[in-house]
Amino acid sequence: MGTILTIGEPMVVFKAQETNASLADAATFQKFSAGAELNVALGLARLGHATEYVSAVGQDPFGTYLQAEMRRNHVGVTNLVTKAAYPTGFYLKQNVDHGDPAVYYFRRGSAAAHYDLNDLRGVDLAQVQLAHLSGIFAALSAESLAVYRQLNRELLQHNIPVTFDPNLRPTLWSSTAEMVRVTNQLAQTATVVLPGLGEGETLTGSRDPETIADFYLHQSEVTQLVVVKLGAKGAFAQRATGEKLWVPGFHVAPVVDTVGAGDGFAVGLISALQEDLSLKQALRRACAIGAMAVQVMGDNDGYPTPAQLKTFYQEHQTQS
């Protein structure tokens, strides 16, 4: 198998230790690595896939920590550059006993947001078999959007398939209308589109998974598969050929932290498809890793090794 390439913003997250305390009131925090595309690279590497992560970090303790975490997890860092003039982004995350935690970002003007076309010229696509992109990197800055578009053009020229997760972050865009317009435009050049149900509603105006899938399949001849993430309920997939498939989710307890579940889903789907498993098996693995992700505190700490994934299946075989 070839290399799976991702491009994104690596971040440090500090998660509050006090349950249900506001971010203003919390006094103790634990540090983890984060960033949607980095989460995917880490998860794929843990399953034995070769990965290459494209981005920039600052010349600061956060950047040093993230580089060490990538190397420790066997993520390729050949294309990770250091920009001494800019900081590494980080954010704070609430600790809640139910629902989604509050988050607060410190990412404006980060090193990753200043990754530019000159940096991209050093990226070699010769060994890349698939690329995973998301709407977050495109939203960071005008430079980031230009890099995203150029990388996407080069991937298409090399006939390298692209998986695309919208990963909507409204605060990074000038307006909701601009976010919707650009995100749907970017999806047109993706082989596989992976919206969540809520994202699909924002982007297409519908909460019906089949309607969301039809929208992306009909707006582009490049898109061959749309997978709508349904959270604990599972997933719906539709191919350009018309094949449709519903797969139920896994019920797990306790749910510790929902952040990173969508990236875990992408890890499962991409890894399984790269291993030539069936679409049903890929969706099942995607749902499994998404479920595993919500049972731990870090954004990506719940992503499994092959042995851990096998154990999870054995423990939840009645749900399969």
Beta-strand relationship, 128-134 and 80-83: unpaired
pLDDT for residue 318:
64
- Among residues 10, 11, 12, 46, the alpha carbon closest in space to that of 30 is found at 12
- The pLDDT of 13-32, averaged and rounded, is 96
pLDDT digits (tens, 9 = 90+) for 105-124: 999 999 999 999 999 999 99
Top pLDDT among 131 and 298 is at 131
Identify the structural domains of the chain with CATH numbers, from first to last.
3-230 (3.40.1190.20)
pLDDT digits (tens, 9 = 90+) for 38-52: 999 999 999 999 999
Q: Is the full-model pTM beyond 0.85?
A: yes
pLDDT band at 270 (very low <50, low <70, confident <90, very high): very high
State the Cα–Cα distance between residues 26 and 42, nearest whole angstrom. Answer: 28
Catalytic residue among 263, 276, 299, 301: 263
Backbone angles phi, psi at 220, to 5 degrees: -155, 135
Top pLDDT among 165 and 320 is at 165
124 carries an active-site annotation? no
| pLDDT higher than 70, residue 178 | yes
- The pLDDT of 18-40, averaged and rounded, is 95
In the numeric block, which tokens belong to residue 269?
Answer: 């789907």
pLDDT for residue 319:
60
pLDDT for residue 252:
85
pLDDT for residue 298:
66
* E strands, the chain, in order: 3-7, 11-19, 29-34, 51-58, 80-83, 90-95, 103-106, 128-134, 162-165, 192-193, 225-229, 235-239, 244-247
- The pLDDT of 278-293, averaged and rounded, is 95
| pLDDT higher than 60, residue 320 | no
